[in-house]
Amino acid sequence: MQQKTIMDYETVRLDEENGAVVIIDQTKLPGKIELISLKTAQELWDAIYLLKVRGAPAIGVAAAYGIYVLSIQIDTEDYETFYREFVKQKEYLDSARPTAVNLSWALNRMLRVVETQREKPVFAIKEKLRQEAAAIQEEDILVCKKIGEYGLELVKPGDGILTHCNAGQLATSKYGTATAPIYLGQERGYGFRVFADETRPLLQGARLTAFELQSSGVDVTLICDNMSATVMKNGWVNAVFVGCDRVAANGDTANKIGTSVVAAVAKYYGIPVYICAPTSTIDLNTATGAEINIEQRPAEEVTEMWYQQRMAPEGVKVFNPAFDVTDHELIAGIVTEYGVARAPYTESLKEIFRKKENAGNI
């Protein structure tokens, strides 16, 4: 019997029988594939904050299933009591990761279910919440495939592609965002050569992207973050595909720290940078990247994590933002499930949402 790989596991799923959200603990990868069950608000919050589940779409799916699991634990048939407790739990989960807009997007979508079903019995509202969470996950899979199709049109067989952090299947329900064109290309024999940045300090590129691409048979080469200019100068990279956690109305994007460096270097070498972003990640209420709240992470992620002993002097100051903002002028296109937006993004992103409104839900 063929041994299972990481690609055979669901990143997030609902275990309805046991009233839990089951995730792959991504902090243990690639050394160990461990599934964990989350049942309490604290467990869910910790899993999101500690990056046991990560990637904007996967966080959204986990949050949707999570708030459903918490809702079935609210023991009342009184709507007002149920509503108050639901909002309390929703706001608590929403505080786990401030930069990733999918977290608040999914939780607000679940809240709207509660608010629009207020005339129904509480048990019926809970069933509607389960259906909505499942719909969010199904949409995520279809959205990623659409992004992959549009992204594939931007490259040709045999191209070299560089990616940063992990916007793969482990960051979504399936396909990933930035890796969706790679996976579709792999299915169709495109023979891409992929360079994966290790992505300091949490090494999502080394631990996750390289792991899942290699498991899928993709030709992937791991490089340190400070090697991107070298592989570009050597002519080995034809395009950069990265995901993001939030897109501002002007096309500025917040993604894992180091993305802006890759984009600046790629611009110098004339290599297009494509941001793969579901419309759920686009925040037209945020005018520019300067308004995006950048999460600050613990110093220990830089000084101690992944080392057998501390590698930095005790007491040294550490600056550890989780994300940086890539200026829209460095971006060749933003790939969504409704097509590729290009500059000026203040207009093209609005057009993407007009297409979404005309099409209805995917």
Q: Which residues pair with 21 in a beta bridge?
A: 14, 38
Which stretches of the chain drop beneath a pLDDT of 50? none
What backbone torsions phi and psi does residue 10 show, to the nearest 5 degrees? -80, 135
The two structure tokens encoding residue 175:
């396909």
| DSSP sequence for 219-258 | EEEEE-GGGHHHHHHTT--SEEEE--SEEETTS-EEEETT
- pLDDT attached to residue 360: 74
Q: Torsion-angle region of residue 90: left (phi > 0), alpha (psi -120 to 50) or beta?
A: alpha
- pLDDT attached to residue 99: 85
The two structure tokens encoding residue 36:
């964990």
Q: Catalytic: 245?
A: yes
Round to whole Å and give the CA distance between 297 and 257. Answer: 11
Q: What are the tens digits of pLDDT across the range 273-290?
A: 999 999 999 999 999 999
The two structure tokens encoding residue 27:
């902090």
Residues 6+ apart with CB under 8 A from 333: 154, 272, 274, 275, 340, 341, 342
- pLDDT attached to residue 2: 66
Scanning 2-78, the segments in alpha helix (DSSP H) are 41-49, 56-72
361: exposed, middle or buried (C-beta count within 10 Å: 0-12, 13-18, 19+)?
exposed
Q: What are the tens digits of pLDDT across the range 180-223?
A: 999 999 999 999 999 999 999 999 999 999 999 999 999 999 99
3-state secondary structure of 178: coil
Fold that domain 6-143 belongs to in CATH: Four Helix Bundle (Hemerythrin (Met), subunit A) (1.20.120)
Selecting among 94, 140, 197, 245, the annotated active-site residue is 245
Query: What's the whole-model pTM score?
Result: 0.93
Round to whole Å and give the CA distance between 270 and 239. Answer: 9
Q: Which residues pair with 321 in a beta bridge?
A: 296
Residue ranges of domains in the chain:
6-143, 148-359
Fold that domain 148-359 belongs to in CATH: Rossmann fold (3.40.50)
> What whole-number percentage of the chain has pLDDT above 90?
97
